[in-house]
């Protein structure tokens, strides 16, 4: 880049900064703007209807939000019942969850077996895809490579633009099957080209579950324990769907409403999920926990833990934002059911891995953080621990590298995304077009010869 061009960029950045000064907050009230499509009390603006999932954290009675224990609903069923059924039958449940979300009904044994068999048969990537689309252009960020793999899949589909629902379902199921392979191979390429480590490309095994296959693909020796696969399967079930209003799923509705192709819509959702405010949230939890573990000398001393959390809230330590990551949620108030279910299963894994001391530190923070936040913020807003607080710890115990945390989220949430894409195609019928109010005053045009 030439010096002249660099100077031009510096000048224009200054101009852009001046032109895009923060908008006066009072204007949002003047024009009744729902920032982030939320009301002032945090409730989301109702922009659509769905029959896929529901997130329950409060009731609204006479216009007032009343906190209730959290529930996560898939197609009318409480996710806790799905997980109990999985445990009762001693089998992996993510594939049944995918079937339910896509088709709207629980499968019988024959239907489930046939669906699992079909998913297994579609995990292998198309011929030359791994070499041409993943290995020849590796990425330091696996989410970017995942998005590219989705878009590249368009070129391997002779019916990529066919708009029929049956064809869209085929495309969705193929992507669900291949997401774990995309992510695992992207990770291996990243290891080789960016980390200088050995790369291991294993073939997926059709008979294995999504959780088993993923652990097999990312490990050099392809080995994993039953409990490890069960814990990852649970995490996949819990992250598979979260209503139509979360950012990445809403992206699916917005982009699908334009009548674009499946690959473009899913790639948009991947880009949304990559964001640190969305799918990358558990990474912030892990960074915070690294800091806590380095600065709290006695992990069993609740007073010492409480005092350090207090310093975090006061912006004295860690990243100086005043946030205790993994605490609070846009919808859940009293409890996040996903956090509870994952926390209880994590205890089993911590016992097996000899990590109960660290697990107990997490439990102590879960109990102390709401108290500290209430005391320091001097408010009565109910704060609960969310699933991001425990998911990173679980993945750590599974020896999964941090760069794969958000891709695992995508491997799971592709189930909900595709269900919402099909719903938008069938029931939407109208392109999303919200309004923005321009608050910049008109300016007198200046001819070029008169500009300074």
DSSP state of 297: S
Count CB-CB contacts under 10 A for residue 183: 25
Does 425 have pLDDT greater than 60? yes
Count CB-CB contacts under 10 A for residue 186: 27
Residue 85, pLDDT score: 95
Joined together, the tokens standing for residue 70 give: 């959290």
pTM: 0.94
Q: Single out the catalytic residue among 54, 233, 261, 388.
A: 388
Q: With CA atoms as reference, report the closest residue to 190 among 124, 144, 129.
A: 144
Residue 60 binned pLDDT confidence (cut-offs 50, 70, 90): confident
Q: Single out the catalytic residue among 85, 132, 141, 278.
A: 278
Whole-number Å distance between alpha carbons of 452 and 449 = 8
Mean of pLDDT over the chain:
95
Q: Give residues with Cβ within 8 angstroms of 84, minimum separation 6.
A: none
Residue 107 binned pLDDT confidence (cut-offs 50, 70, 90): very high
Paired with 67 in beta bridges are 58
Sign of CA dihedral 119, 124, 130, 133: negative
Q: Note the maximum CA span of the chain.
A: 79
Q: Single out the catalytic residue among 239, 242, 253, 329.
A: 329
Residue 23 binned pLDDT confidence (cut-offs 50, 70, 90): confident
Whole-number Å distance between alpha carbons of 201 and 206 = 16
Range name among 39-43, 111-115, 130-134 with the lowest pLDDT average: 39-43
Does 1 have pLDDT greater than 60? no
Whole-number Å distance between alpha carbons of 121 and 30 = 57
Decide if 430 contacts 378 (C-beta within 8 A): no
Joined together, the tokens standing for residue 389 give: 């607080």
Q: Is 388 a catalytic residue?
A: yes
First-to-last C-alpha distance (Å) of the chain: 25
Paired with 65 in beta bridges are 60
Which ranges in 296-336 belong to alpha helices (H)? 302-313
Burial of 229 (0-12, 13-18, 19+ CB in 10 A): buried
């Amino acid at each position: 880049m030439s010096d002249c061009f660099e100077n031009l960029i510096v000048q224009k950045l200054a101009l852009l900064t001046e032109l895009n000064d923060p908008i006066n907050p009072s204007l949002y009230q003047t024009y009744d703007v729902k920032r982030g499509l939320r009301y002032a009390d945090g409730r989301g603006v109702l922009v659509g209807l769905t029959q896929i999932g529901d997130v329950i954290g409060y009731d609204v009675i006479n216009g007032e939000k009343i906190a209730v224990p959290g529930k996560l609903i898939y197609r009318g069923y409480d996710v806790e019942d799905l997980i109990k059924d999985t445990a009762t039958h001693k089998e992996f449940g993510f594939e049944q969850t995918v079937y339910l979300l896509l088709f709207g009904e629980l499968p019988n044994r024959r239907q489930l077996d046939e669906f699992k068999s079909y998913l297994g048969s579609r995990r292998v990537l198309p011929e030359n895809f791994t070499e041409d689309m993943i290995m020849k252009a590796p990425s330091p960020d696996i989410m970017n490579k995942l998005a590219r793999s989705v878009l590249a899949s368009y070129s391997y589909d002779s019916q990529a633009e066919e708009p029929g629902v049956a064809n869209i379902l085929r495309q969705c199921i193929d992507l669900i099957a291949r997401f774990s392979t995309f992510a695992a191979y992207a990770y291996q390429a990243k290891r080789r080209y960016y980390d200088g480590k050995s790369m291991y490309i294993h073939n997926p095994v059709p008979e294995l579950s999504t959780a088993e296959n993923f652990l097999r693909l990312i490990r050099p020796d392809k080995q994993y324990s039953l409990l490890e696969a069960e814990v990852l399967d649970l995490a996949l079930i819990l992250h598979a769907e979260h209503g139509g209003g979360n950012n990445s799923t809403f992206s699916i509705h917005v982009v699908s409403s334009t009548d674009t192709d499946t690959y473009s819509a899913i790639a948009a959702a991947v880009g949304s999920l990559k964001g640190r405010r969305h799918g990358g949230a558990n990474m912030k939890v892990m960074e915070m926990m690294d800091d806590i573990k380095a600065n709290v000398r006695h992990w069993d001393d609740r007073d010492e833990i409480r005092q350090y959390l207090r310093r975090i809230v006061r912006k004295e330590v860690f990243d100086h934002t005043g946030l205790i990551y993994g605490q609070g949620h846009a919808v859940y108030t009293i409890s996040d059911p996903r956090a509870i279910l994952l926390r209880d299963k994590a205890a089993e894994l911590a016992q097996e891995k000899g990590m109960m001391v660290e697990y107990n530190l997490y439990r102590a923070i879960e109990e102390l953080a709401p108290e500290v936040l209430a005391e320091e913020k001097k408010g009565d807003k109910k704060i609960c621990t969310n699933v991001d607080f425990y998911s990173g710890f679980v993945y750590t115990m599974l020896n999964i590298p941090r760069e794969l945390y958000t891709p695992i989220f995508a491997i799971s949430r592709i189930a909900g995304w595709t269900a919402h894409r099909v719903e938008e195609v069938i029931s939407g019928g109208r392109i999303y077009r919200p309004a923005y109010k321009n608050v910049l005053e008109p300016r007198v045009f200046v001819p070029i010869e008169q500009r300074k």
